[in-house]
Chain A
Amino acid sequence: MHEIALAHAVWRQVAAEMEKHSDRRLTQVRVVVGELSGADPESLEFALGLLVAESEWPHAAVHVRKEPVVLVCRTCGREYPMQEMRLRCPACGGADVEPVRGTQLRLESLEVE
């Protein structure tokens, strides 16, 4: 819904990183969007593409990957993937669960040359 603002936040972090590598050229940006992060990967990739096109590295590739949710049950310790928004533990039925993956929006890596 607000992926243009998110894309600007991603880009600020890319630009800050590239300042440390000012002699290099950015060729690829990889971003990970957790399934429960609230962001839409396709819209974010589109918005980031617009920022890249206007940057000093207009040919850099943008890859936004959706990350599935993985949970841990605090009751029985089981680690399991989320199935269709069922987050409850499939082993013991417990609802006291913690997502260990799939909630974040993060800048995974850059490729430079």
Chain B
Amino acid sequence: MAERIRLEKKIVTENDRLAAALAERFDEAGLLVVNLMSSPGAGKTSLLEQTARRLADDLRMAAVGGDLATDRDARRIIDAGMPCRQINTGRGCHLNGRQVAEAIEVYDLADLDILFIENVGNLVCPASFDLGEHRRVVVSSTPEGDDKPVKYPVAFRSADCVVLNKMDLVEATGFSPASFSGFVRDLGLDVPLLELSCKTGQGLGAWLDWLRTQREAVRCRAAPSPE
């Protein structure tokens, strides 16, 4: 006799379990963890360099970064004044919870205000792999074209903040900021859209303010209530 067993159960992957454990560790340590995602070359590393140069006196920050090969990005971030641990993924197209858990072993999380996770440059797979972060930032850039949000809806939908880099190249590339922001809103995203240029420094103030606000929000949530 055939019988239908109704389950309606959300599929929990091994990475979901690892991410939940990481999220617990991050909450206990009380730091803000930001996962940066973008296509290759959008400017994740440049954004971290600029952040290190401008915020290192105020906040204790560190990073882990994923790339298929080389430690070039980590060296750039370290040179800018932020500790950074490179993860080489070989052929892996995204970072997973296990890689992040191993990479952060070198840090005392309780001594940090912000940990950045610079994901592998890819707007497809990283979106499906939670790393226990508090905030996701998608970085896009003007040479990529203004329709990126609607082409990669899953990544953009998961963003808590969208950064549009290389605003100094708007004229050269024929990029339409209005069209880009229209595509972001079409995705039903009510998140900050920060237009900036890591090269000229234009708009970086709003990014640093956003980081400070998120840091404060996570710290207030983590702080024990007064006796």
Chain A interface residues toward B at CB < 8 A: 1-2, 5-6, 9-10, 13, 17, 21, 24, 27, 31, 36-39, 71, 85-89, 94-97, 99, 104-113
Chain B nearest CB, measured from A64 CB (Å): 12
- Contact between A107 and B187, CB atoms less than 8 A apart: no
The prevalent SS among residues of A at the interface is mixed
CB neighbours (8 Å) of B8 from chain A are 106-109
Bound together, the chains give a CA A69 to CA B40 distance in angstroms of 29
Q: From residue B120, how far is it (CB to closest CB) to chain A in Å?
A: 12
* Contacting residue for A36 out of B1, B6, B10, B154, CB 8 A: B154
Q: When chains A and B are docked, how far (Å) is the Cα of A105 from the Cα of B7?
A: 12
A-B contacts, 16 listed (Cβ < 8 Å) = A1-B93, A5-B15, A9-B13, A10-B11, A13-B7, A13-B11, A21-B5, A24-B3, A36-B157, A71-B188, A88-B186, A95-B185, A97-B188, A99-B188, A104-B10, A113-B3
Determine the chain A residues whose CB is within 8 A of the CB of B103 once the complex forms: none
Across the A-B interface, how many residue pairs have beta carbons closer than 8 Å? 94
Q: For the complex, what is the distance from the CA of A86 to the CA of B190, rounded to whole Å?
A: 14
Main secondary structure of the interface of B (DSSP, over half): mixed
Task: Name A86's closest neighbour in chain B (CB-CB).
Answer: B186
A1 to B68 Cα, complex, angstroms: 17
Shortest distance in angstroms between A61's beta carbon and chain B's nearest beta carbon? 12
Q: Are B2 and A111 in contact (CB under 8 A)?
A: yes
Interface residues on B, range: 20 to 34
Residues of B within 8 A of A99 (CB): 188
Q: B74-82, B124-132, B168-176, B214-222: which lies at the A interface?
A: B124-132
Residues B11 and A107 in contact, CB atoms below 8 Å apart: yes
Query: Which residues on the A side are within 8 Å of B189 (C-beta)?
Result: 87, 95
Given A87-B188, A104-B10, A38–B127 Cβ distance below 8 Å? yes
